Amino acid sequence: LTLGRRLWLLLLLAAACSGILFALYSSTVGPYPATPAGARDTMTSQAFFGSNALNFGTRKSRLCRCPLHFAIQRHPHFRRLFNLSTPVLLWGRPFTQELWDSLSQHKAPYGWQGLSHQAIASTLNLLNGSENAELFAASKELRPDCIRCAVVGNGGILNGSRQGPNIDAHDYVFRLNGAVIKDFEDDVGTRTSFYGFTVNTMKNSLISYRKLGFTSVPQRQDLHYIFIPSDIRDYVMLRSAILGVPVPEGTDKGDKPQTYFGPEASASKFKLLHPDFIRYLTERFLKSELMNTNFRDLYMPSTGALMLLTALHTCDQVSAYGFITRNYRKFSDHYFDRIKKPLIFYANHDLHLEAALWGDLHKAGIIWLYQR
**What are 260-286's pLDDT values in tens digits?**
999 878 899 999 999 999 999 999 999
User: Could you give the count of Cα atoms lying within 13 Å of 211 in the half-sphere of its Cβ?
Assistant: 4
For the residues 33-42, what does the mean pLDDT come to? 40
Residues 197-214 have pLDDT tens digits of 999 999 999 999 999 999
DSSP state letters, 275-323: HHHHHHHHHHT---GGGGSTTTTT----HHHHHHHHHHTT-SEEEEES-
Which one has a higher pLDDT value, 52 or 337? Answer: 337
Report pLDDT for 78: 97
pLDDT digits 0-9 by tens, 80-116: 999 999 999 999 877 889 999 999 999 999 999 999 9
- Mean pLDDT across the chain: 86
Beta bridge partners of residue 173, listed in sequence order: 150
Please report the pLDDT score of residue 139 as a whole number: 57
**Alpha carbon distance 360, 366 (integer Å):** 9
Question: Is 302:200 a contact under the CB 8 Å cutoff?
Answer: no
Residue 292 CB neighbours (<10 A) = 10
**pLDDT 10s digits, 19-29:** 444 443 333 32
Mention every residue, 6+ apart, whose C-beta is less than 8 A from residue 320: 150, 151, 153, 308, 358, 362, 367, 368, 369, 370
d(CA 151, CA 309): 10
pLDDT in tens, 296-310: 888 999 999 999 999
> What local confidence, expressed as pLDDT, does residue 209 receive?
95
Ordered DSSP codes for 75-95: -HHHHHH--TTS--B--STT-
Ramachandran angles phi, psi of 134, nearest 5°: -125, 150
Residue 30 has pLDDT above 50, yes or no: no
Residues 6+ apart with CB under 8 A from 221: none
Report how far residue 328's alpha carbon sits from residue 85's, in angstroms, rounded to the nearest whole number.
34
What is the predicted pLDDT for the residue at 61? 44
Name all domains of the chain by residue range, CATH numbers in brackets: 65-89+149-369 (3.90.1480.20)
